[in-house]
Structures are given as structure tokens and as C-alpha cells.
Amino acid sequence: MFSKKIVLAFSLPFLIFAAVFNYVIQLFTQDMRHYEVTFIVDPVLSGDEIKSTAQTYVDMLQQEGCTIVHNNEMGLRQLAYPIKKRNSGVYYCVEFSSETGAFIPKVELAFSRDERIMRFLTVALDKFGVKYNADKRAGLIGKKTDKKAVATVEGEGVATKKAEPKAKAEAAPKAKAEPKAAPAADSSSQEEE
């Protein structure tokens, strides 16, 4: 019993020291920190004004020493709830990397002061977020590929997978029509007897 208390007394400070040490090492060995800022631009603006608004913030990030990894215009989308009496907005997502995150409050202050920006969100990406975004840009994640090229061999002919459900859908109404006619005939034969 006494030995367990001693082991806990020595192991707890060691675990805390190890966690702090790993964190400090990670801070000094990490080259770049990755961020992603998503913002919604007021859709009332003209197309040129919307693009210039987005370009303003991309330029601001580049002036702060950031490397722009990807700039994605997601387009006009419906909002889940009204923001500033608007039901839609033009979404932009900018992924960037920087050595420090000291400039983030300055950029967020500019977002909050700009009347053209309806909402914004800045997120620090971990290694999984960076990998996910890279895979999404490469086409490994997201929209499914069209499977028209995948075919099955049936006898002599070749039929695509999309043709099979259509044939089943055509056969289903015929099968449904026949049982409806059969019970009607049965009820009339019962009345005759």
C-alpha cells in the first residue's frame, strides 16, 4: 500500500514534466502553423466587389508573411438562419500557413470592422486537418466519381449498373398491377358462390 503512494507521488510530476517538455519541443520544431479562415460576403454587392473583398483579405494575409495554400470560392449559398437580414451569402475559404499566429487578431479585427463581411471563422489546423484538405483538393475526398465505366457482363451483352435498377423499377409496377386485379376477381367469385 505504501509503495503505491510513493510510485504515484513520483510518477505524477514526471508525467506533467514529460507533457510540458513534449509541448515545448513541438513548438520549437514546428516549421509552419496552418490556418483556415472562412468568411461570408454580403451577396448584395456586385460580382467585382465580392471578388475584390476576398482579394483584400488574401493580400492582407500575404503582407503579414503568410503563404496562401489554397483560396476557395464556394459561391452563393443559403444560410441556415438570417444574418443581417440576409438569407444567403457568398462563401470564401482561405487556407494559409505562417510561422506565428500573432497577426490573427489583427486580421479578425479587420473582418469584424468590415461591413461587407457577414460572418467569419478562423481555425488552426492540426496535421489531420491539413491532410484532409490536401486530400480534398486532390479529389480523394468529396464528390463521388461517376461509375458509368464499371460494367457487368451478362450473357453476351454488357449492361451498366445504372441500367439494372431501371429494369427492376419497370418490373415492379407490373408486379404491383397484377395482385390488385387478382383480389378483385376473387371477391367476385366469392359473391357468385
Element spanning 152, H or E: strand 151-154
User: What pLDDT score does 11 carry?
Assistant: 63
Q: Which of 26, 117, 44 is nearest to 94 (CA)?
A: 117
Per-residue pLDDT tens over the stretch 126-173: 999 999 999 998 888 877 655 554 444 444 444 444 444 555 555 555
Residue 44 burial (CB count, 10 A): 12
Whether residue 38 is predicted with pLDDT greater than 70 in this model: the reply is: yes
Q: Which of 51, 25, 27, 189 is nearest to 116 (CA)?
A: 51
- Please report, as a single letter, which amino acid is at residue 98: S
Residue 76 burial (CB count, 10 A): 12
User: What pLDDT score does 176 carry?
Assistant: 53
Per-residue pLDDT averaged across 50-73, rounded?
Answer: 94
Q: Which of 96, 92, 36, 89 is nearest to 61 (CA)?
A: 96
Per-residue pLDDT tens over the stretch 168-189: 555 555 555 555 555 555 544 4
For 98-152, give the DSSP string. ES--TTHHHHHHHHHH-TTEEEEEEEEE-HHHHHHHHHHHHTSSSSPPP-TT-EE
pTM: 0.59
User: What pLDDT score does 100 carry?
Assistant: 87
Q: Distance between CA atoms of 83 and 86, rounded to whole angstroms? A: 5
